[in-house]
Chains A and B, each alone.
Chain A
Amino acid sequence: MSDASPLLPAEDARDGALVFVVSALCFLACLAVVAALAASRAAGGWSAELRNSATVIVRPGAEESADAAAARAAEALAAVRGVGEVDALDRGKAEALLEPWLGKNGLPDDLTIPRLVAVDLDPHHPATAAELDRALKAANVDATVDDHTLWLKDILRAGLMAQAAAIGVAALIAAAAGAVIVFATRAGLKAREELVGVLHLCGAEDRYIAALFQARFARLAASAGAIGAVSAALGMAIVRLIGGGDGVTPALPVAWSDLLPLVLCPLAAGLIAAVAARATALSLLRRMT
């Protein structure tokens, strides 16, 4: 003998299908969250690399060899405060950089190739492009400083877009999960109209009955959320183990810490379900006598 039986029958044929659908949605939402984190990290890594370096294009004068001009530029740049290492690339390295576009045999010997000087900047107090430019002008070197600002903006924008897209997908999935719970609550109330009627006639308030549906669907969604999160975590763990720090692609590097936010999935799923079920149940109950 007990008085602990739930007022809503414990098992329902629809529960299995609902758990499957919500689990699948949670799985996809978790993947989207991990993708957002990975995209953010990738963009951050690339922008840090670009922010801490600059490329100087040296145009040798008529009376000076390209190697000599590059060496002078390197010397001038190395003296600037906020500059770490400076590397004047020789013709071979410059040609290697152009090889993907022009091919191995694409460069005539008499073609003047601008020399490049790669500059590593102090990550804490990097020299600005203007400072580098001033130093080159002072050394009377004809050169252009590329501090990667243009690329940096593009990469940051691409990273932000990827992040926004992933967050948007996660939000859309959360909304879809909410809608599924709304339909399930409607179906549940319809299927248990008689039971709800008895509870009403015995003096139950709408909010008490709504709380029964709220608790039921919150529990169900939290379980489904746990299944989805664990599945996504397993999938991502496999990707991390196979692909290392780069995951499946350097564009989306997976870190173990990316899996941590997934522990919130059951809570989020439960919360969304609770709100959706309560609002739906209260709305429907108010139409019942």
Chain B
Amino acid sequence: MPEPALEVARPSVRFDDVSLAYGEGPPVLSDLSFELEPGSFHFLTGASGAGKTTLLKLIHMSLAPSAGAIQLFGRDTARLSREEIPPLRRRIGMVFHDRRLLDHLNAFENVALPLRLAGRKVASYRADVMELLGWVGLAEKVDAYPLALSGGEQQRLAIARAVVGQPELLIADEPTGDVDHEMAVRILRLFVELNRLGATVLIATHDRDLVARSGKPVFNLAGGALTRQAA
């Protein structure tokens, strides 16, 4: 559970002069500084290879910056011990571009995974998971395994898994890339609803229609630098 007494006024995410280069290569991200206020909703746009996925991985602590400092919920990620990272990750919902579903678990089990890892009993979340699967149009695929699902269905499953724990911060990498327009709108409504409940949302996307329809502010990544565009 969050510790709001100390962190309520702090940004969910804060980058201070963050740079990242893979190995000896040129920097993918250069001196990024920005904040995501609690309860804010942003899109992240940029051409392919601009570094959107890299930026999301930095937020999710899958990568460490080459330079600069990242704060999550007021905690400096560089100062976190290995034991402190999992509890922080459980406050984040992440939709991966490559979905990262577990093939040996069925749809219900994949969605319930974060709750299971948090130590909750199935009886306490069965209804919530079923409702969420219905919301993303997979009510009839509860027992289906990922390999039996289409790309779009897998993507919706990954989205359901990311939001099932009602995370404080939701980051999504091209969450509507493989779904039709109607489902994309539906998924956006899900994100907006989560945001309305207090979650900070950052969505990396190429879908200009989705961005335009939402009316939310946009960060644009180009040449390793981040620019902010108003809603």
In the complex, which residue of chain A has the Cβ closest to the Cβ of B108? A1
Query: B100–A3 contact, CB under 8 A?
Result: no
Q: Is A5 at the interface (CB under 8 A from chain B)? A: yes
In the complex, which residue of chain A has the Cβ closest to the Cβ of B143? A1
Query: A203–B142 contact, CB under 8 A?
Result: no
Main secondary structure of the interface of A (DSSP, over half): loop
List residues of chain A with CB within 8 A of the CB of B122.
2-4
Question: With A1-B142, A9-B104 given, is the CB distance from A205 to B86 under 8 Å?
Answer: yes
In the complex, which residue of chain A has the Cβ closest to the Cβ of B61? A289
Smallest distance from the beta carbon of B78 to chain A beta carbons, Å?
14
Q: Is B42 at the interface (CB under 8 A from chain A)? A: no
**Residue-by-residue, is A1-36 near B (CB-CB < 8 Å gives 1, otherwise 0)?**
111110101100000000000000000000000000
Question: With A199-B117, A203-B118 given, is the CB distance from A5 to B100 under 8 Å?
Answer: no
Query: A206–B82 contact, CB under 8 A?
Result: yes
Question: With A5-B104, A208-B117 given, is the CB distance from A203 to B87 under 8 Å?
Answer: yes
Of A7, A203, A205, A208, most buried by chain B (CB within 10 Å of CB) is A203
Question: With A1-B143, A289-B62 given, is the CB distance from A202 to B117 under 8 Å?
Answer: yes
**Residue-by-residue, is B47-66 near A (CB-CB < 8 Å gives 1, otherwise 0)?**
00000000000001011000
Query: A201–B94 contact, CB under 8 A?
Result: yes
List residues of chain A with CB within 8 A of the CB of B116.
3, 7
List residues of chain B with CB within 8 A of the CB of A201.
60, 62, 89, 94, 96, 100
Q: Is B113 at the interface (CB under 8 A from chain A)? A: yes
Smallest distance from the beta carbon of A285 to chain B beta carbons, Å?
9
Question: With A2-B109, A3-B122 given, is the CB distance from A203 to B102 under 8 Å?
Answer: no
Query: A5–B106 contact, CB under 8 A?
Result: yes
Query: A203–B86 contact, CB under 8 A?
Result: yes
Q: Is A286 at the interface (CB under 8 A from chain B)? A: yes
Smallest distance from the beta carbon of A124 to chain B beta carbons, Å?
64
Smallest distance from the beta carbon of A34 to chain B beta carbons, Å?
41
Question: With A5-B104, A5-B105 given, is the CB distance from A202 to B82 under 8 Å?
Answer: no
**Residue-by-residue, is B110-121 near A (CB-CB < 8 Å gives 1, otherwise 0)?**
001110111000
Given contact pairs A5-B106, A201-B94, A286-B82, enumerate 4 new A-B contacts (beta carbons under 8 Å): A2-B109, A201-B89, A201-B100, A203-B117
Can you sample 18 A-B contacts with CB below 8 Å? A1-B108, A1-B142, A2-B109, A3-B116, A10-B104, A198-B101, A198-B113, A199-B113, A201-B60, A201-B89, A202-B90, A202-B161, A203-B118, A204-B117, A205-B83, A206-B82, A286-B82, A289-B62
Nearest first, the 5 closest Cβ-Cβ pairs linking A and B are A203-B90, A3-B122, A203-B89, A205-B86, A9-B104
Interface of B toward A, CB cutoff 8 Å: 60, 62-63, 82-83, 86-87, 89-90, 94, 96, 100-102, 104-106, 108-109, 112-114, 116-118, 122, 126, 142-143, 161
